[in-house]
Structure 1
Amino acid sequence: MQVVGVTTQQEVYIASRERKFHINEILVIEDPALDNPRGEVVETLSYNRLIPMGLDKSLVDAQVIQTLEQIGYDIESDEVNLAKLRLYEEAPHPVRTGCPVRLPSFHEVRHLLVKASPDDGMMLGEIRGTESMANTIDEDLKDRVVIMERGELRPQRGVPFIFDIKSMQQYPHVGIFGGSGSGKSFGLRVMLEELMQLHIPTLVFDPHFEMDFRETASGLEERAPDFRDLFTSVQIGKEVGISFSDLSTRDVVALLGAAGGQLSESMVNVIQMLHRRRDNFTSFSDRVSNLVQALDEGKQGLEKQLKNPDLTPVDVQRIQDLKQLLQQYGSLPSSSVKGVHWRLQRLEKAGLFQQDIRAIERGLEQGRLVVVQGSAWVLQVFATYVIGTLYRKRREYKDAQMNGEEEHYFPPFVVVTDEAHNFAPKALESPAKAILKEIAQEGRKYGVFLFLATQRPTLLDETITAQLNTKFVFRTVRATDIATLREETDLTAEEGKRLPYLRSGDTFVSSAAYGRTIFIRIRSAYTKSPHLTNPFDELKRFSEQQDEKLLDTLLKTLPIFDTDLIQVLKQVNRECGLGWDLNRLKEELERMARSGKLTKHETPFAVRYDRGKNMKV
């Protein structure tokens, strides 16, 4: 292997007769004047006698061809393997043409590939192109990960990729981008497993109810850690909610704005007028509800009701209270009060005010990963409150510490969400956007960090995207998303062209901590998602189970005559938990007869169904 063609301080071309180059592999150029620079193969090409040289101008030009001829290549006969090598560090002057090139040993490139010790960092996968160093890898880095490839597990072959979590103090926040089926959610699961093993407090918003870590993946039972004590799963409305009495008027405005779209100025005024300090949900909701009733009745309507002689003292007092409420707040627009009332009812039906966030605070203080589950819109509303509350707790502790004051300790923590473009969309207002932007810009100072995953980076708020100092880029097909990622990372044109064709689980890591892009394969997750079952396998299994249950019931009633179907229908519905009508039962009997599970006999008097040839005894 040797350098050919015109060289620059950043890139060189390399040729070889015997060896084919591997994309992303690392090579050493033996140029003593430049202290033997290292580089990564970013593009490869092979020519042979069946392809005329110079036909494809993507990699070589006339000067490269001329160099090959001068150093002894028979262009018409030899197979020529070519590679473009990008240097890791810009050279002070161009590399000398003709320099020999060789594979490195691990100790020559460890400082380029490994930024943290295996025990202190997140062991996320294997660096592509490092397989040639397998024999020289340090012992502490061997057999650290298991890779899933083509549906089968294989041992580690190259250098493990260790994400230095401590570097987030200087280069905060992580973005995970990739289209459907790219391995994005799988990669996010691996990151959460690593955060748990490092006992880093983590708050996860899970709109898909898939972040469960109790079930171990097949084939990894012997080496998978037990995560059951490292995470807590809570559901909005059951284990966690919002303590309304802890909300300030400003919090109530933000919360109701999140519940049903942006509030009008009139509605904000209604909340500011009606909300009182330390109101619980019942007192505030009743005040709003009573005002709605008072505005609908009007002053004259209420006075007319007072003239009713059949009123009880309780009824009289209620009407007097409504009159007083109308006198105090009667100038507020009825439509705005009703809008506030509707939002309150919506949040109450979602169970948002039935609990508090103590379970989340306790989990984070214990160094656990806390998974918050709920429907998408409820998660957005809840995230607005809980992220803001926890961020303020951490900020108050750090500010008090700086001022030499005593404050209850609250740990640094990580906020993780999938479908991040729904929480912080570009050019649109959303409930959690303001607090996520604040953390993106200032969270580093207080030890609060973001891990945001999305299929559509183009739709994510640009301010937040710009603050994600590490980006994991999985397979992406949309041209607009690829263009956005090219702008926000140091992906080269060649790497951008590869994005639509990446295999699931392969990802480019663009990190300010490394100063360049690294191509890795995410390791196999130790746990599996509850949604991992193929839906078509699920459909087939359900149909088979239903048929088996139905046949077991029919077996008790055979032979079945079509004159007795009403009694059979009652038994089938009762024992199988169904709600079929007579026509559905006839259709199922016909289907089973066609499949051989039943035998159909037609006589002049009735149709009879008996045991079929394929029916189990």
Structure 2
Amino acid sequence: MQVVGVTTQQEVYIVSRERKFRINEILVIEDNALNNPRGEVVETLSYNRLIPMGLDKSLVDAQVIRSLEQIGYDIESDEINLAKLRLYEEAPHPVRTGCSVRLPEFAEVRDLLVKTTPSEGMLLGEIRGTESMSETITPDLRNRVMIMEQGALREQRGVPFIFDIKTMQQYPHVGIFGGSGSGKSFGLRVMLEELMKLRIPTLVFDPHFEMDFRDRVPGVEGGDDFTDRFIAVQIGQEVGISFSDLSTRDVTELLGAAGSQLSDAMVNVIQMLHRKRDSFASFSDRINNLVQALEEGKQGLERQLNNADLTPTDVQRIHDLKQLLAQYGTLPLSSVKGVHWRLQRLDRAGLFQQDIRAIERGLEQGKLVVIQGSTWVLQVFATYVIGSLYRKRREYKDARMNGEEAKFFPPFIVVTDEAHNFAPKALESPAKAILKEIAQEGRKYGVFLFLATQRPTLLDETITAQLNTKFVFRTVRGTDIATLREETDLTPEEGKRLPYLRSGDTFVSSAVFGRTIFIRIRCAYTQSPHLSNPFDELKQFAEKQDDQLLGVLAGLLPLFDTDLVGAVAQINRACGLSWDVHRLKQELERLTLEGKLSKHATPFAVRYDKR
């Protein structure tokens, strides 16, 4: 292998007769004047006489061809393997043409590929293009991960990719981007496993109910038992919001999250009616009573007092309504009703039935806490829980800075899938403000973000700009690719590859490495509860129902179509169905066509029997 063509301080062309180049592999240029610079293959092709010569727009140009002919290559008959090599560090002057190029040993490039030890960092996968170093990799980095490729497991061949979590103090926040089926959610699961391995407190918002880590992947060895390292809680069941702990500002933010943006009149209603330490019942009753008082009006309430059939309790209630009307009668009825509707909507979602103590306890124990619920409920709850926990961490750090004693609250990571729903660009959303605050200031307090989305273009730009490490999986949409090109150091060649990446392959653009690294995510140790193929699920259900139906029919055969009324009642009771005679006849015909029953036409009736 040697350098050919015109060289620059950043890129060179290399050629070989025998060896085909691998994309993303690392090579060493033996140019002593430049201290043997290292580079990465960013583009490669094989060229021979069977290929037309019209390749002016590729890396084979006239200068390269002339250079090949001068050093003895027969352009008309030889197969020539060419590659563009991008240097890791800009050289002070161009590389000398004709220099030999060789494969490096691991020790020569370890500083480029490994930034921490496996026990201190997150083992996320295997660096592509490092397979040639398999013999020289040090023992501490061998057999660390299992890779799933072409549907089969294989052992690690190259250098493992280890993400140094401690560098987030300098380069905070991680983005995970990729389209449907790209391996994005799979990669996120691997990252969460590694966070559990390191016992880093993590808060996960799971709108898809898939972040469960109890089921192991068959055939994959290694990894810890994560059963005791995570807890899954549902909003309205195990966790919720303690209404009496809310300030007026908190109530305003929550009710603003329950629908469209609050009007100024609605904000005024909340500020006027909410009192410190209000319970949900007291605040809700106050608003409900004010709605009734405003609807009845002063004259209507006076007329009710003239009713002779009123009990003392009814009289007291009307007096209370009159007092409420006198105090808050200037508030517009429509705004009070709007606040009341939002409050009831949150209550129906179960938000005020529990508190967040289970979440706080899990984080204090260094566990991964998975919060599950529908998307809009998660957005509302995230506004409260992230803000509350972030304030706890800030208060602790601020107190320590001032030399005061404070109760320890741990640093933690906030993780969410479908992040563009939580912090959309150019739109207001419940959790957007607190996520932007953490993106900009969280590093100082030890609070970090892991945000995954299929649509990076729809994610708030302020947040996107603060994601110092980005995992870019297969992305097809041109607008998303353009956004990622702007936000990362992906080269034009890498941008062209994005729509064709295999599931599980990803570019890692990291400020820690100072360049983009191409990796394959390792096989996860656990699997999602939604792993089964829906078409297999449909087939299994149909087979189970047929077996159940044939079991009941076995006691009724031979069955004449004149007896279907009695048969359908018995089948419905035994199988828990609600069929009518017409539906039963359709099923009998289908079973006949599939060869599971036989059908005989007689002069008086049709008879169904065993096959």
Partner of 1:364: 363
Whole-Å Cα distance in 1 between the matches of residues 324 and 563 of structure 2?
68
Residue 435 of structure 1: aligned partner: 434
Counterparts of residues 414-429 of structure 1 (less than 5 Å): 414-429=413-428
Query: 1:586–1:54: structure 2 CA closer, same or farther, 3 Å change rule?
Result: closer
- Give the AA of the match of 1:33: A
Query: Would you say the 8 A contact 1:471–1:511 is kept in 2?
Result: yes
Counterpart residue number, 1:494: 493
The AA in structure 1 aligned to 2:587 is E
Structure 2 residue aligned with 1:237: 236
Alignment of 1:284-433 (within 5 A): 284-433=283-432
The aligned amino acid for 1:273 is M
* In the alignment, structure 1 residue 92 sits paired with structure 2 residue 87: no
Counterpart check, 1:560 vs 2:559: yes
Q: Which amino acid aligns with 1:386?
A: V
Name the structure 1 match of 2:258: 259
Three-state SS of the structure 2 residue aligned to 1:305 is: helix
- Output the amino acid matched with 1:377: W
Q: Deviation at 1:217?
A: 0.5
Q: In the alignment, is the contact (CA less than 8 A) between 2:56 and 2:62 conserved in 1? A: no
CA-to-partner distance for each residue in 1:181-234, whole Å, 9 max, x for gaps? 0000000000000000000000000000000000001211x4242110000000
Q: Aligned-pair distance for 1:591?
A: 1.3
CA shift digits 1:533-568 (9 cap, x unpaired) = 110010000000011111111112222222322222
Whether 1:271 aligns to 2:251 is no
Q: 1:522 maps to what in 2?
A: 521
Structure 2 residue 602 is matched with structure 1 residue 603: yes
Preserved CA contact (<8 Å) 2:471 2:509: yes
Q: Secondary structure at the match of 2:188?
A: helix
Amino acid at match of 2:57: K
The letter of the residue matching 1:348 is D
Q: Which amino acid aligns with 1:214?
A: R
| Mean CA deviation greater in 151-160 or 568-577 | 568-577
Q: Retained in 2: the 8 A contact 1:42–1:494?
A: yes
Map residues 448-597 of structure 1 onto 2, 5 A cutoff.
448-597=447-596
In the TM superposition, what whole-angstrom CA distance separates every residue of 1:282-316 from its partner, at most 9, and x where no partner exists?
Answer: 10011111111111111111111111111111111
2:360 and 2:208 map into 1 onto residues whose CA distance is 22
Distance 1:535 1:310 in 2: 64
Tell me the secondary structure at the aligned position of residue 427 of structure 2: coil
8 Å contact kept, 2:187–2:521: yes
Q: Hey, what does 2:194 align to over in structure 1? A: 194
Unaligned residue ranges in structure 2 (runs of 5+): none
Which range is displaced more, 544-553 or 416-425? 544-553
Larger CA deviation: 66-75 vs 249-258: 66-75
Gaps of 5+ in 1: none
Question: What amino acid maps onto 2:113 in structure 1?
Answer: L
**Does the Cα contact within 8 Å between 2:55 and 2:61 map onto a contact in 1?**
no
**Mean alpha-carbon deviation: is it higher for 362-371 or for 586-595?**
586-595
Give the distance between the partners of 1:574 and 1:325, measured in 2 at CA: 58
Aligned mates of 1:54, 1:579 — CA distance in 2: 70
Contact 1:52 1:76 in 2 (8 A): no
> 1:136 is matched with which residue?
136
- Give the secondary-structure state (helix, strand or coil) at the position aligned to 1:135: coil
Query: Which 10-residue stretch deviates more, 577-586 or 357-366?
Result: 577-586
1:113 matched residue in structure 2: 113
AA in 2 matched with 1:207? P
* Aligned: 1:76 with 2:71: no
The 8 Å contact of residues 237 and 353 in structure 1, kept in 2 or not, is answered as yes
Match of 1:175 in 2: 175
The answer as to whether partners of 1:54 and 1:62 remain within 8 angstroms in 2 is no
- Rounded to whole Å, the distance in 2 between the matches of 1:564 and 1:308 is 67
What is the rounded CA distance, in whole Å, between the counterparts of 1:206 and 1:572 in structure 2? 41
Equivalent residue of 1:136, what SS? coil
Root-mean-square deviation (Å): 0.9
Percent pairwise identity? 82
Structure 2 distance, partners of 1:561, 1:62, is 85
Q: Partners of 1:592 and 1:453 in 2: how far apart?
A: 47
Separation in structure 2 between the aligned mates of residue 211 and residue 120 of structure 1, nearest angstrom: 24
Structure 1 residue identity aligned to 2:181: G
| C-alpha distance after superposition, 1:315-339 (max 9, x if no partner) | 1111111111111111111111111
Q: TM-score, normalised by structure 2?
A: 0.99
Q: Given that residues 54 and 61 in structure 1 are in contact (C-alpha distance below 8 angstroms), is that contact kept between their aligned partners in structure 2?
A: no
CA distance in 1, matches of 2:428, 2:232: 29
Residue aligned with 2:358, SS: helix
Local SS of the residue matching 1:12: strand
> Are 1:4 and 1:14, in contact at CA under 8 Å, matched by a contact in 2?
yes
TM-score scaled by length of structure 1: 0.98
Deviation at 1:261, TM superposition (A): 1.6
- Determine if contact 1:216/1:224 at 8 Å carries over to the other structure: no
Task: Give secondary structure in 1 for the equivalent of 2:57.
Answer: coil
Provide, for residues 20-44 of structure 1, a one-character-per-residue CA deviation record: whole Å limited to 9, x for no partner. 1000000000001111000000000
Given that 1:246 and 1:278 are in contact with CA atoms closer than 8 Å, whether structure 2 keeps it comes out as yes
Deviations for 1:96-154, whole angstroms, at most 9, x for unmatched residues?
Answer: 11110000000000000001111000000000000000000000000000000011000
Task: Tell me, in whole angstroms, the C-alpha distance in 1 between the residues paired with 2:580 and 2:317.
Answer: 52
Shift of 1:54: 5.0
Offset at 1:56? 4.2
Structure 1 CA distance for aligned equivalents of residues 590 and 141 of structure 2: 60
Report if aligned partners of 1:128, 1:158 keep a CA contact under 8 Å in 2: yes
Structure 1 CA distance for aligned equivalents of residues 522 and 55 of structure 2: 40
Aligned pairs, how many? 611
User: Cα 1:542–1:56, aligned 2, differ >3 Å: closer, same or farther?
Assistant: farther
**1:86 aligned counterpart, secondary structure:** strand
Q: Match of 2:124?
A: 124
Deviation at 1:52, TM superposition (A): 4.0
